[in-house]
Structure 1
Amino acid sequence: MRLCVCFVLLSLTLCASADVPFLTRRAQFVRDAVGGAWDMLRAYQDMREANYKGADKYFHARGNYDAARRGPGGAWAAKVISDARETWQSGMSGRGAEDTRADQEANAWGRNGGDPNRYRPPGLPKKY
């Protein structure tokens, strides 16, 4: 009986240690995704606070940029949030397909490592 228990414990230990890198990567992905979601929320809050005409594309790009810098989980969260927001907004805002396309362009630009300042409007306070 002791031999069976020792064998089972040894097997579990070996299996668990073999899966540690996988579990570590998965945990990091989740941490990056949560952090990326916070980055997106912070960009949205800054956009609302700034209330600056013509700055929405900058904040789209910045939120995606910050989230994606965290890693694959952050980039994934940024894409999911951006796509959901644009799907919802395109039906609610009445701004049309062209605005949605431009928002998605800014989202992708930031998510792919492009400098968000490309979309920064003149006069936007340095705070942002």
Structure 2
Amino acid sequence: MKLFTGLIFCSLVLGASGLLSFLGEAARGTWDMLRAYHDMREANYIGADKYFHARGNYDAAQRGPGGAWAAKVISDGRENFQRFTDRFSFGGSGRGAEDSRADQAANEWGRSGKPMDPGRKPPG
């Protein structure tokens, strides 16, 4: 009985440590996404948003599974929110379904782990 109790306790400790690791990766991945957004706003360069989409997702995904998860949740949430608000923009915001698809392609490019080259534009 003591062996069984010890095995259960060890599996709980290992499970909790794995969860903490995942959450730490997700938190650092979220920070990477925020940093890329801040850098994009600071650069204020028309046409560079796809690069920053890809870079933020790439940096977050390099953190591990938790970072990749955070990048996907943030990217998908942002695009879904943008598509929702575009429906209520009178005259349109200038961002439609095509721009959203291009943003998502850049997001996926970054999460795929392909190297970032500022001289090469990510898909989208």
Q: Do the two structures share a fold, i.e. TM-score over 0.5?
A: yes
Partner of 1:119: 121
Residue equivalent to 2:96: 96
C-alpha separation in 2, matches of 1:116 and 1:106: 11
Indicate which of 43, 48, 55 corresponds to 2:48.
Answer: 55
Equivalent positions of 1:5-24 (< 5 A) are 12-24=5-17
Provide the TM-score with structure 1 as the length reference. 0.79
Q: Which structure 1 residue ranges, 5 or more long, are not aligned?
A: 1-6, 121-128
Give the residue type in structure 2 aligned to 1:62. Answer: R
Unaligned runs of 5+ in 2: 87-92
TM-score scaled by length of structure 2: 0.82
* 2:65 counterpart (64, 68, 72): 72
Q: In the comparison of the two structures, how many residue pairs are matched?
A: 113
Kindly report the root-mean-square deviation, in angstroms, between the aligned alpha carbons of the 2 structures: 1.9
More helix per residue: 1 or 2? Answer: 1
Q: Is the 8 A contact 1:69 1:75 kept in 2?
A: yes
Higher Rg of the two aligned structures = 1
The Cα of 1:22 is off from its aligned counterpart by 1.8
Paired residue for 2:78, among 78, 85, 104?
85
